[in-house]
């Protein structure tokens, strides 16, 4: 009996799973060793989280030390040193003014928490009509119900649930070259609906799973200004962009703005453990007061120890130069693909390289081609992209871009 194929429900797949899954036996550095004997470079950083690669001795040792002390304890009425240390680190590195940290289980949950914070803020301020959110089209913020309600309702993955999701406002998607128009549309929406809107939520600089769209930092500046003008909170979802991925420590830093609430996850623990956080300021926390949310595994000590080690490892490395070098190499090796007839666009920022095709890829065929090239990527729709671990070397990165070229040329 094939348990995996017939009984395990993989993400965005059906049972039985017709697209092959590849059995991982072990992982080290940027490599996954598969049960079939193949050894492939993970160009996805395990969904953008393993920034230091696998089996990192520094993070391993931090977690081994922590498990001998306390692996888990409820956070209601109790606390522990790893959480205190992590809170202190996050306050130091996140945009100015963000100094109240709510730990969560996953990125989607941190978005749920941020939405609840915004709603409760306005309820406690006596503005009970501010119960909606506004967000650019093309965004993705997670798979739970609140998060789904602020994902793109037409091109996103959750249109099946549109009839039961909370109704929110969607404005023009920011893209290179349309910043003025996108901001004008946002301002128009605020002019007519600001009394009903609790917050704007967006992904800074790069819209991730909604289409790997890269836009101008001026849009972020404009959004911050308009939110202030119309008394609307700004929630920035840095789950994919945080911790150096775009070339800045946080996407917000490209525009030198500070949101009212910041969501982080994925690379927070270096990909070792599931963990996220919603970070806000005193104005929000003082008004909200008691937030009715308390995940069982909130601020799990093992997760906190991994996060502390990951952040320390990142900050003591020359990460900005490495991300700059990765960006330059991705530009040099992927941009020539713009000349291919099957390619619609090539986009690069930081350690993100995207090839958008004119027609959808055949997932099974392209996955097999990539594996045969010694590379693990997870294309979807028309997008073939890489977000490699920061520790990848030039030769390994070239192997990824070569594999991407092979897929494109054989379309």
325 catalytically annotated = no
Of the residues 12, 18, 167, 358, only one is catalytic, namely: 12
| Measured distance CA(149)–CA(153) in Å, rounded | 8
HSE-CB of 411 using CA atoms within 13 angstroms: 24
Q: What is the dihedral of CA 177, 251, 207, 167, to 10 degrees?
A: -100
Per-residue buried b or exposed e for 87-103, using 16+ beta carbons within 10 Å of the residue's own CB: bebbeeebbeebbbbbb
| Measured distance CA(203)–CA(150) in Å, rounded | 11
Write down the H helix ranges in 78-198.
81-93, 107-124, 145-148, 179-193
| Residue 167: Cβ-neighbour burial (10 angstroms; 0-12, 13-18, 19+) | exposed
380 catalytically annotated = no
Q: Which of 73, 77, 27 is nearest to 53 (CA)?
A: 27
Of the residues 266, 382, 399, 405, only one is catalytic, namely: 266
65 catalytically annotated = no
Report the chain's C-alpha Rg in angstroms: 21
Of the residues 216, 237, 382, 385, only one is catalytic, namely: 237
Of the residues 31, 54, 121, 140, only one is catalytic, namely: 140
42: how many CB neighbours lie within 10 A of its CB? 25
HSE-CB of 106 using CA atoms within 13 angstroms: 7
HSE-CB of 274 using CA atoms within 13 angstroms: 11
Taking each continuous run of H as one helix and of E as one strand, the counts in the chain are 13, 16
Residue 47 parent element (H or E):
helix 45-48
272 catalytically annotated = no
Active site residues: 12, 140, 237, 266
């Amino acid at each position: 009996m094939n348990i995996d194929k017939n009984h395990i429900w993989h993400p965005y797949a059906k049972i039985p799973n017709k697209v092959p899954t590849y059995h991982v036996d072990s992982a080290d550095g940027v490599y996954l060793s598969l049960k079939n004997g193949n050894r492939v470079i993970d160009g996805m950083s395990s969904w953008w989280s393993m920034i230091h690669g696998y089996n990192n001795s520094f993070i391993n040792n931090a977690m081994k030390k922590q498990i001998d002390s306390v692996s888990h304890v409820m956070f209601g009425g109790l606390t522990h040193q790893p959480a205190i240390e992590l809170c202190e680190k996050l306050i130091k590195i996140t945009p100015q003014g963000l100094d109240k940290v709510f730990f969560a289980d996953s990125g989607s949950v941190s978005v749920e928490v941020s939405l609840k914070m915004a709603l409760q803020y306005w309820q406690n301020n006596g503005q009970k009509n501010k119960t909606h959110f506004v967000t650019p089209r093309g965004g993705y913020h997670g798979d739970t119900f609140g998060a789904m309600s602020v994902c793109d309702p037409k091109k996103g993955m959750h249109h099946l649930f549109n009839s039961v999701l909370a109704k929110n406002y969607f404005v023009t998607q920011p893209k290179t070259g349309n910043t003025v128009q996108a901001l004008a549309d946002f301002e128009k929406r605020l002019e007519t609906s600001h009394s009903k809107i609790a917050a704007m939520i967006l992904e800074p600089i790069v819209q991730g799973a909604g289409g790997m769209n890269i836009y101008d930092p001026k849009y972020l500046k404009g959004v911050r200004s308009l939110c202030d003008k119309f008394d609307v909170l700004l929630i920035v979802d840095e789950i994919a962009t945080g911790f150096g991925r775009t070339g800045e420590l946080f996407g917000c830093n490209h525009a030198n703005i500070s949101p009212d609430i910041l969501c982080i996850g994925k690379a927070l623990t270096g990909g070792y453990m599931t963990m996220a956080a919603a970070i806000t300021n005193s104005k929000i926390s003082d008004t909200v007061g008691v937030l009715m949310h308390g995940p069982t595994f909130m601020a799990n000590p093992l997760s906190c120890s991994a996060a502390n080690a990951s952040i320390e490892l990142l900050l003591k490395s020359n990460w900005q130069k490495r991300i700059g070098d990765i960006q330059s190499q991705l530009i040099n090796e992927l941009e020539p693909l713009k000349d291919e007839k099957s390619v619609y666009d090539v986009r690069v920022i930081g350690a993100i390289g995207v090839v958008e095709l004119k027609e959808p890829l055949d997932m099974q065929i392209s996955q097999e081609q990539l594996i045969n090239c010694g590379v693990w990527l997870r294309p979807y729709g028309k997008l073939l992209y890489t977000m490699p671990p920061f520790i990848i070397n030039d030769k390994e990165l070239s192997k990824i871009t070569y594999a991407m070229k092979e897929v494109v040329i054989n379309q």
